[in-house]
């Protein structure tokens, strides 16, 4: 324990911890947002909203990848006091990512009608999502700059502001009769507000663009590829199931599944701040001593304990938890809540092991995550006979991923050079 405390006391690890603690508190508020929606929307409407949100996650995979890479690059430039690269890298990222993001946004807008039919939703919401994609590109990049500049307090405050504005506007639009589309619109306006504030905060570093004769060359190859697979797997495994259930089942069943999903993720996101500490702590220890086994074992024990406690509570009192947090309309889904909770626990432990392997120079383990990501749609489609079959089959998939990573990690630890 003393070794862990010593590792956490380093400036880098301490700053990372502050950021993740802030993220944890924001996650609580975001869940409060979903709990409010569960109360204000009917099961079919809430299933519709979570389908919108899941589609946004999937389309945002490229931006999720670039966020981590951009943070690393900009932090390196800042450490070297290379203000020119800090400035020009911003425009390099916009140039590289804009074509993909704007194309996805226009596709959403153009095919809003057919998408609305597939997901039993309103076409206006997909138009709003298309516009959101374009705005999220800019927010992702400047948000990465904010983190790289280590403005963690500002980042945390803006996170809280975003959630609060989203909640207030969503309630207002729902009351005005917009339904699930109102919640999407509330998120869009909150995102625009936060983007403007972030830009004003870092404006002096990125605007205006520095004019130079020979622009520096930036390369995003190498680790970026594995980071993309990690982002792809993480976002897809938390989103594809909701979209598939929305398309394969009736709207009421979709709403029940969405409620299970958002409650089950409370286990996952409760562990996320600690999982996030693994990468900086393990990387620091591994580079200093050549081994990070102590971090793996002790931090892993803490995460496993908390995960089992959380999932265990959900397993013991599923009906009570759903009745309090979601409402009586969702009570029929109570028997499946324990299964979903333990699925999210195993997924969280899988992310923890992947973070350790990436920190110690073994990112190829993400191939296992990619395999499960490919299998998930097929498993849910083959289990479409009932919602119970879909939930159980996915739980086997998440446990299989955890078990495979555990075996691989054990092998790596025992045979490390």
CA distance 382 to 84: 54
How many angstroms separate the CA atoms of 386 and 92, rounded?
48
- Predicted TM-score (pTM) of the model is 0.65
DSSP code at position 335 = G
What single DSSP character describes residue 215?
P
Residues 6 or more apart in contact with residue 68 via CB below 8 angstroms? 144, 227, 231
Condensed to tens digits (0 to 9), the pLDDT of residues 302-359 reads 888 888 988 888 889 888 888 877 777 778 888 888 998 899 999 999 988 988 887 7
Q: Tell me the domain boundaries of the chain.
A: 1-12+222-417, 41-220
Angle separating helix axes 366-382 and 240-248, nearest 10 degrees: 10
Q: Can you list the residues of the chain whose pLDDT is less than 70?
A: 1-25, 27, 53, 55, 57-62, 64, 68-69, 71-72, 75-76, 79-80, 119-121, 148, 150, 152, 215-224, 273, 276-277, 279-288, 290-291, 416-417
DSSP state for residue 207 in the 8-state scheme: S
Angle between helices 61-79 and 123-148 (to 10 degrees): 20
> Tens digits of per-residue pLDDT, 250-289?
878 887 888 888 788 888 877 876 776 676 566 656 656 7
Q: In angstroms, rounded to a whole number, what is the distance separating the alpha carbons of residues 375 and 257?
A: 19
Classify burial at 233, counting beta carbons within 10 Å of its beta carbon; exposed 0-12, middle 13-18, buried 19 or more: buried
Pick from 341, 285, 339, 335: nearest CA to 309: 341
């Amino acid at each position: 324990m003393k070794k862990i405390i010593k590792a956490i006391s380093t400036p880098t690890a301490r700053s990372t911890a502050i950021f993740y603690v802030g993220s944890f508190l924001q996650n609580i508020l975001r869940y409060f947002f979903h709990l409010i929606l569960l109360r204000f929307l009917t099961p079919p409407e809430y299933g519709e909203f979570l389908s919108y949100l899941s589609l946004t996650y999937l389309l945002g995979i490229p931006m999720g990848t670039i966020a981590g890479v951009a943070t690393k690059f900009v932090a390196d430039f800042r450490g070297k006091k290379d203000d020119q690269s800090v400035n020009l890298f911003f425009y390099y990222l916009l140039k590289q990512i804009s074509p993909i993001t704007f194309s996805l946004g226009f596709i959403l807008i153009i095919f809003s009608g057919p998408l609305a039919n597939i997901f039993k939703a309103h076409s206006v919401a997909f138009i709003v999502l298309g516009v959101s994609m374009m705005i999220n590109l800019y927010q992702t990049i400047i948000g990465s700059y904010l983190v790289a500049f280590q403005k963690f307090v500002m980042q945390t405050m803006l996170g809280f502001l975003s959630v609060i504005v989203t909640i207030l506007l969503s309630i207002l639009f729902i009351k005005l009769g917009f339904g699930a589309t109102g919640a999407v619109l509330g998120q869009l306006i909150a995102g625009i507000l936060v983007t403007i504030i972030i830009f004003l905060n870092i404006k002096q570093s990125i605007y205006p663009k520095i004019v130079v004769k020979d622009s520096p060359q930036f390369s995003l190859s190498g680790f970026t590829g594995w980071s993309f697979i990690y982002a792809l797997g993480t976002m897809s495994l938390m989103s594809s199931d909701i979209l598939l259930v929305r398309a394969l089942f009736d709207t009421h069943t979709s709403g029940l599944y969405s409620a299970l999903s958002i409650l089950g993720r409370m286990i996952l996101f409760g562990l996320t701040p600690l999982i996030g500490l693994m990468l900086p702590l393990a990387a620091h220890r591994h580079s200093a001593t050549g081994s990070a086994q102590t971090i793996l074992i002790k931090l892993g024990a803490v995460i496993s304990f908390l995960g089992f406690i959380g999932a265990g509570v959900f397993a013991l009192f599923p009906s009570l938890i759903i009745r309090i947090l979601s409402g009586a309309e969702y009570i029929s889904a109570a028997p499946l809540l324990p299964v979903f909770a333990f699925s999210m626990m195993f997924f969280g432990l899988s992310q923890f092991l992947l973070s350790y392997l990436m920190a110690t120079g073994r990112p190829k383990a993400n191939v296992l995550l990619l395999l499960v990501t490919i299998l998930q749609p097929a498993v849910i489609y083959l289990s479409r006979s009932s919602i119970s079959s879909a939930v159980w089959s996915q739980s086997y998939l998440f446990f299989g991923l955890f078990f495979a990573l555990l075996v691989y990690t054990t092998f790596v630890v025992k045979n490390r050079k």
